[in-house]
Chains A and B, each alone.
Chain A
Amino acid sequence: MSVLVDAETRVVVQGITGHQGTNHTRAMREFGTKVVAGVTPGKGGSVVEGVPVFDTVREAVAEVGANAACCFVPAPYAKDALLEAVDAGVRLSVLVTEHIPFHDMLVMYHYARSKGTRIIGPNCPGIASPGRSKVGIIPNTVFRPGRVGVISRSGTLTYEIVNGIKEHGLGQSTCIGLGGDPIVGTSFVDALPLFENDPDTDLMVLVGEIGGTAEEDAAELIRRGFSKPVVAYIAGRSAPPGKRMGHAGAIISRGRGTADSKVQALERAGARVAKFPYEVSEIVAEISRGLARR
């Protein structure tokens, strides 16, 4: 078993004829993902990387059975692309696209939710289960199959941390890059229960950063009862307190959102919080050894 993606995942790549879409279609296929279709309006009938291209997502679903979408469509058109994919009935949409206005994401998120489609992203690397499947742009080389679940708001930092875990001889069950935008389709509290129920995951790594209260919300979920050990890292401890949302933002977050607030909430909930990125893999290795002895 794995989380959200497996051998049954059949991906349609939206924006497949673009530079990014084409390159990552190749990388996904090399990873073992079943990329069954691409969509670029007006380019239907062509073939990219051995994948048939359709004009609409509906055709990709009807003709080759796509059930997940991976979106590389530029920000001004991303909302329409997502609505189309949801409407065509895909169950999972990974939005790699960055710079989508949050006013668009408000509509995209609530529409997808009302139709039962899960969004990962936007502005995210996507999801990978090493040895099984990936949807998105997570690099093929840094992963190895294993029993550590990883959820993260950042991209490169996650690869760095995952690489460290690999150097300790350990691997990942599933890794989800949630994206760092103000509104994300799947947040820590949405992702954690998926791993709780995954028999292939023994422990969790949570990589957060300053801003918003997603980490505090995750801490609350862990405190209420999450059965697997959690190792966390929060980036941005040295950043000056942000004034991004001004006074109204301050009364929404009420003193939460800082690195200190997140670290304290997670520690109170029983998570081990690493001070530096390289400490994550050291703590993970220590916990793994403990689990193996049991």
Chain B
Amino acid sequence: MVKLTEGRGKELFRKYGVPVPKGAIARSPEEAERVLRSGAVPCPCVVKAQVLAGGRGKGGAVRFASTPEEGKAAAAAILGSTFQEETVREVLLEEKVAIARELYVSIALDRTARLPVLMTSARGGVEVESVPDEEIERQPVEPFPGLAAYERRRASRSLGLAGALVGELDRLLSSLYQLFDHEDAELVEINPLAVVGERLVALDAKVIIEDDASFRHPEYATLRDDRTPLEELAREKEIAFVQLDGNIGVIANGAGLTMATLDVLKEFGGAPGVFLDLGGTDDPKKVTEAFLLMAQARPRAVFLNIFGGVTRCDTVANGLVAALGTVPPADRFPLVARIRGNHEEEGLAILRAAGITSVPDLRASVQAVVAAAKEW
């Protein structure tokens, strides 16, 4: 999943014809002042931190300025500061508009209906979770016809729009649905969508792009900056690797088994620090790479829980033994293994020869690794 900052989301809005205020990105206070002096963005204006976390308004990451000097000062205060663990590197400068009403519009996926759903509410500008169900209009959108004109008219009615605003919303929703479809978005959300005189203007933009569509959207590849360096390395090797707060490393295969392993580990007092999902690999080299990644994360102990289905236990055992041979002594960790399933006997023999025992019972193996992490 690639979350776009508001500024990048609004670039997409502009490209697809969703109306946004006049705005520009600045990366330094001087640049902010220059933009405001040039009139490209008129004052009074809003200076907004370009971070992915919500709640910017309350958190001081959105400020107002009535002159270029004030804009520069606001940018200086925001740039380089930390907002919910994100460092602010960019601000969005935007003209201030006279808001008559604030609406809510989004398109997301409804997994149960297996359809995109258009959601609209006349109660925009607040956290939408706090709006009662009956004040949110939901319209499932059939993918073949796409978002139809009658559905857009229905949205206008539910928002209480009249006159020129009906046509405005009609065009805006067409553009927004096109963006959702063509850019492979998981979510497009405008909150608030402002009524400004006879116009509609998107004052915020939340766009999330789906990872699986990256083969047709290489342009988003450079925007994945929420990973740790090790997570990024793992992604390049196509290994699912997530760092958590605890001290025990977990290597399992398959998302379900990995989650179940973490659940059992926590239940028995362990704190998972890293988990790594080998997936359905049949390549011992990949297993070796996974172990070396794990070693770099410096866990107190490692639990290897493999159920061989398509993956063979002897493949995993060979990869493991090869990896342990190359881990520098300083990076070694206590290891508890549990390998079951396809070619289990061969895998166990390989581990035995290398001096590693496999504990077949899940409870017992988890207790062993929790104890090892405490002792070490």
* A238 contacts B307, C-beta separation under 8 Å: no
* A213 contacts B112, C-beta separation under 8 Å: yes
Q: B117 to chain A: which residues have CB within 8 Å?
A: 252
CA distance A142 to B111 in the complex (A): 31
Seen from chain A, the residues whose Cβ lies within 8 Å of a Cβ on chain B are 75-76, 99-103, 105-107, 109-110, 125, 137-139, 141-142, 152-160, 163, 180, 182-183, 187, 207, 209-210, 212-214, 217, 233, 235-239, 244-252, 254, 275-278
| Partner among A154, A180, A238, A245 whose Cβ is within 8 Å of the Cβ of B266 | A238
Interface residues of B in 325-376 (CB under 8 A from A): 340-342, 361-363
| B74 at interface by CB-CB < 8 Å | no
Name 17 interchain pairs, CB-CB below 8 A, sorted by A: A103-B184, A103-B210, A106-B114, A107-B144, A110-B114, A139-B309, A157-B259, A159-B307, A163-B341, A183-B109, A238-B262, A246-B54, A247-B127, A248-B128, A250-B129, A252-B117, A278-B363
The residue in chain B whose Cβ has the minimal distance to the Cβ of A182 is: B111
* A238 contacts B263, C-beta separation under 8 Å: yes
* A237 contacts B263, C-beta separation under 8 Å: yes
* A183 contacts B119, C-beta separation under 8 Å: no
Known: A107-B143, A139-B310. Is A155-B108 also a contact (CB below 8 A)? no
| Partner among B128, B213, B280 whose Cβ is within 8 Å of the Cβ of A251 | B128
Stretch among B23-31, B153-161, B250-258 lining the A interface: B250-258
* B259 contacts A210, C-beta separation under 8 Å: yes
Q: A163-B340, A238-B266, A239-B262 are in contact. List 12 more A-B contacts (CB 8 A).
A: A75-B212, A157-B257, A157-B307, A160-B257, A160-B260, A183-B109, A187-B112, A235-B256, A247-B128, A250-B129, A251-B136, A278-B361
CA distance A158 to B341 in the complex (A): 12
Seen from chain B, the residues whose Cβ lies within 8 Å of a Cβ on chain A are 1, 54, 106, 108-112, 114-117, 119, 127-129, 131, 133, 136, 142-144, 181, 184, 186-187, 189, 191, 206, 208, 210-213, 215-216, 252-257, 259-260, 262-267, 272, 280, 307-311, 340-342, 361-363
CA distance A193 to B131 in the complex (A): 36
Q: B311 to chain A: which residues have CB within 8 Å?
A: 156
* A76 contacts B342, C-beta separation under 8 Å: no
Q: A157 to chain B: which residues have CB within 8 Å?
A: 254, 256-257, 259-260, 307
Q: B119 to chain A: which residues have CB within 8 Å?
A: 248, 251
| Partner among A154, A183, A237, A248 whose Cβ is within 8 Å of the Cβ of B257 | A154
* B210 contacts A247, C-beta separation under 8 Å: no
| Partner among B259, B308, B341 whose Cβ is within 8 Å of the Cβ of A239 | B259
* A246 contacts B115, C-beta separation under 8 Å: no
Distance to closest chain B CB from A205 (angstroms): 13
Q: A154 to chain B: which residues have CB within 8 Å?
A: 254-257
Q: A105 to chain B: which residues have CB within 8 Å?
A: 114
CA distance A244 to B226 in the complex (A): 13
Q: B210 to chain A: which residues have CB within 8 Å?
A: 101-103
Q: A233 to chain B: which residues have CB within 8 Å?
A: 260
* A137 contacts B310, C-beta separation under 8 Å: yes
Q: B133 to chain A: which residues have CB within 8 Å?
A: 251, 254
